[in-house]
Structure 1
Amino acid sequence: MFFQHDGHRIHFTDDGPGGGAGEGEGEGDALLFLHGLGGNALNWTYQRQHFASRRRVICLDLPGHGKSEGKSIPFLDFGDVVEGLIDHLGIDRLAVCGLSKGARVGLQLAARSPDRVSAAIAVNAFLHLSPADEAARFALYDLLLRGDEGKAIWATRLLTQMAVPEDSRIHRGFMRSLETLDGAFIRALFQQIMDADQRPEVTGVRSPTLLLRGGKDGLVPAYCHDELQSLIPDCASVVLEDCGHLPYLESPERFNLALENFLPRSVSGQSRQAPIR
């Protein structure tokens, strides 16, 4: 499915009760998934399969990713694209779950439109890095400007930092995706993400928020998780100790359970520590 945003075709999927492929009423608010840098809506296949029997589940290809146009849309306008999708679908309120870059877009939406976000889940998200970590991250993404050889080195090093085993299907799928990856676009968008200081805005998030982190993730340091906890007033935390950067793919059962344990109790001021390890 597609909708138009400022002349760009933006792709999304819509499943479950009340969605394009479903009927009837769901058990809770619609649930929107937002992928990370270089990803797409298909990354959330396990979550679509699990939640669509009970909730309306929407997965968006963010601008310039997957089947979506819009490589010229700035990162800080991605929240407007998401709000445009919500308007297009006629949804009043929803829960939003995002990975890394997608988490930052979801938190931006929660801060700017609190009446529309009933709950937020941020997976392995960061708002800023230490000078040393920032320099290392730029060195990694600069490899994308060195053609196919640089792109392959970038992917191998990135997967290592994300704690993705070399012989896994996740690793193989990621390496296959390099054939269509626009390295220059990803590097340019990475620059915009690094330049954007969203810390002042995130302090305005009032939606109940779950921070979910993979304990083995070497891409997003633990102090980033701690900083988000300090900035968001109504915040719970879950750490999947044996997962890396992609817990929704590495351990979808436990990831989905963590979301289930959190979402039904998304009431401001109520304790929501999900017992997932």
Structure 2
Amino acid sequence: MPQLEVDGATLTYDDEGPRDGDGVPLVFIHGWTANRRRWDHQLAHFSPKRRVIRLDLRGHGESDGSGRRTVEELAGDVLAVLDHLEADRFIPVGHSMGGMIAQTLALEHPERIERMALVNSISRMTYSRGRGLLMAVSTRVPFKLFVAANIQRAFAPGYPREQIRECIRASSATPREVVMTCYGAMRSFDVLDRVGEIRTPTLLVHGYHDIQLPVSQMLRMAKAYPDAVVRIVDAGHELPVEKPAELTSALDRFVTGGA
């Protein structure tokens, strides 16, 4: 289990697949309260033929350290790992908060981005009334209840309850300080007026039933991208968990130059 010390944190990562394989490395970045295991299906599919890098963001999974207060700081952690691994050019694939990190990397280091894929992610946080109320009471309810309420509503109707409970258990293991500071980082994230600067081909994959980050917000973002392909999947916000094979198929077509 390789690890790297970065600014007071120990970041755990995986670096698998042939370095001389098909194309530049894929870099998978998970979302809020998740961990690098979200990408197990994609790692198994891509690593036999292509270099794949994934990491646990600080305070998540098997990485320690306190939370970052801005998405830019989180992106700095990812870049530190990639620099250590000498991955000069890469394809970031980010889910939710991970997609915000990917957009930040594309804006700040465009010369290093081959392509980019955003999964259930947006460029500006805009809350529905229900999410706004949830945020308003978040500091007044037990921490595990706050996490459970967010994770529960992330899945499409009818998704198996036991698998939802497993995701809630995993997310609840993330320290409260990390959960809340990263939540604040997402709340303040806003690059919608800048995404027109991102000229790299971009895949936007989104769950039709996503009420965390509604598909309407993603489509608003898509209009601003100069070179974007949109895929809508019959899933909620947790697309890597709900429909891993469909996501992998969409990514495979995209990274090999297909639509």
Q: How do 1:132-143 residues align onto structure 2 when only pairs under 5 Å count?
A: 133=128, 135-141=129-135
Q: TM-score, normalised by structure 2?
A: 0.90
Q: Which residue of 2 aligns with 1:122?
A: 118
Deviation at 1:200, TM superposition (A): 3.3
Q: Which residue of 1 aligns with 2:48?
A: 53
SS in 2 for 1:70: coil
Deviation at 1:159, TM superposition (A): 1.7
Q: How do 1:97-112 residues align onto structure 2 when only pairs under 5 Å count?
A: 97-112=93-108
The structure, 1 or 2, with the larger RCO (C-alpha pairs under 8 Å, 6+ apart) is 2
**Is 1:264 matched with 2:256?**
yes
Query: In structure 2, do the counterparts of structure 1 residues 175 and 196 end up closer, same or farther at CA, with 3 Å as the change threshold?
Result: closer
Q: Which residue of 2 aligns with 1:16?
A: 17
In the alignment, which of 235, 238, 252 is matched to residue 246 of structure 1? 238
Separation of aligned partners in 2, 1:190 and 1:157: 11
Q: Which residue of 2 aligns with 1:212?
A: 205
Separation of aligned partners in 1, 2:6 and 2:194: 24
Tell me, yes or no, if the aligned pair for 2:201 and 2:227 is still in contact at 8 Å.
yes
Separation of aligned partners in 2, 1:55 and 1:142: 44
**Is 1:203 matched with 2:202?**
no
Query: In structure 2, do the counterparts of structure 1 residues 252 and 158 end up closer, same or farther at CA, with 3 Å as the change threshold?
Result: closer
In the alignment, which of 184, 192, 203 is matched to residue 191 of structure 1? 184
Tell me, yes or no, if the aligned pair for 1:32 and 1:59 is still in contact at 8 Å.
yes
Q: TM-score, normalised by structure 1?
A: 0.84
Q: How do 1:25-44 residues align onto structure 2 when only pairs under 5 Å count?
A: 25-44=20-39
Query: In structure 2, do the counterparts of structure 1 residues 144 and 231 end up closer, same or farther at CA, with 3 Å as the change threshold?
Result: same
Query: In structure 2, do the counterparts of structure 1 residues 94 and 164 end up closer, same or farther at CA, with 3 Å as the change threshold?
Result: farther
Query: In structure 2, do the counterparts of structure 1 residues 144 and 66 end up closer, same or farther at CA, with 3 Å as the change threshold?
Result: farther
Paired letter, 1:37: W
Q: What is the aligned-residue RMSD (CA, Å)?
A: 2.2
Query: In structure 2, do the counterparts of structure 1 residues 142 and 66 end up closer, same or farther at CA, with 3 Å as the change threshold?
Result: farther
- What's the % identity of the aligned pairs? 28
Paired letter, 1:186: V
Tell me, yes or no, if the aligned pair for 2:125 and 2:186 is still in contact at 8 Å.
no
Instruction: Give 5+ residue unaligned stretches, structure 1.
Output: 19-24, 266-271
Using the TM superposition, name which of 112-121 and 171-180 deviates more: 171-180
Tell me, yes or no, if the aligned pair for 2:125 and 2:190 is still in contact at 8 Å.
no
Query: In structure 2, do the counterparts of structure 1 residues 101 and 178 end up closer, same or farther at CA, with 3 Å as the change threshold?
Result: closer
Paired letter, 2:88: D
Tell me, yes or no, if the aligned pair for 2:31 and 2:94 is still in contact at 8 Å.
yes
Tell me, yes or no, if the aligned pair for 2:27 and 2:92 is still in contact at 8 Å.
yes
Instruction: Give 5+ residue unaligned stretches, structure 2.
Output: none
